[in-house]
């Protein structure tokens, strides 16, 4: 027998998964509703923290991709340089501190 909380969680899980599917589609079509879906998912995940553990990895990846695209940021930026500095770094001693 499901309790009200379990039923509530299941309802919100389905809602979040449906919105994540809309986010996936929005990534391809530049859906103007994407900020709304992202905000709703964010609010629901804050309210029902256990949902984070119930979402499949693919759904989490899509959610992160949607957030990255919406905010237009890179979560990790690679910095590569072909030149290597030849300057020597002096060793620190206890006197330096």
Q: Is 96 a member of any domain?
A: no
- For 42, list phi and psi in degrees, rounded to 5: -60, -45
Whether residue 82 has pLDDT greater than 60: no
Would you say residue 41 lies in a domain?
A: yes
**For residue 2, how many other CB atoms are within 10 A of its CB?**
9
Give the residue from 60, 79, 69 showing the smallest Cα distance to 19: 60
Q: Name the pLDDT band for 74 (thresholds 50, 70, 90).
A: low
Asked if residue 77 is part of any domain, the answer here is no
82 lies in some domain: no
Q: What is the DSSP letter of 72?
A: T
pLDDT at residue 43, rounded to an integer: 92
Range of the domain at 12: 4-71
Q: Is residue 8 part of a domain?
A: yes
pLDDT at 92: 66
Q: Is 60 exceeded by the pLDDT of residue 78?
A: no
What is the per-residue pLDDT across 19-68, written as a single tens digit (0 to 9) for each? 888 888 887 777 788 888 889 999 998 998 888 888 888 888 888 888 88
Q: Determine, yes or no, domain membership for 89.
A: no
Q: Is residue 95 situated within a structural domain?
A: no
- Count other C-beta atoms under 10 Å from residue 13's C-beta: 17
Q: What is the dihedral of CA 15, 18, 23, 28, to 10 degrees?
A: -170
* Cα gap 78→30, rounded to integer Å: 26
Mark out the alpha helices in the chain (DSSP H runs). 4-29, 34-47, 51-54, 57-71
The answer as to whether 93 is a domain residue is: no
């Amino acid at each position: 027998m499901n309790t009200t909380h379990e039923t509530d969680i299941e309802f919100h899980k389905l809602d979040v998964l449906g919105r994540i599917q809309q986010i996936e589609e929005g990534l391809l079509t530049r859906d103007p509703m994407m900020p709304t879906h992202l905000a709703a998912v964010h609010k629901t995940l804050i309210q029902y923290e256990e949902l984070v553990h119930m979402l499949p990895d693919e759904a989490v990846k899509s959610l992160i991709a949607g957030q990255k695209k919406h905010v237009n940021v890179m979560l990790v930026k690679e910095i590569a340089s072909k030149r290597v500095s030849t300057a020597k770094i002096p060793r620190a001693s206890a006197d330096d501190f």
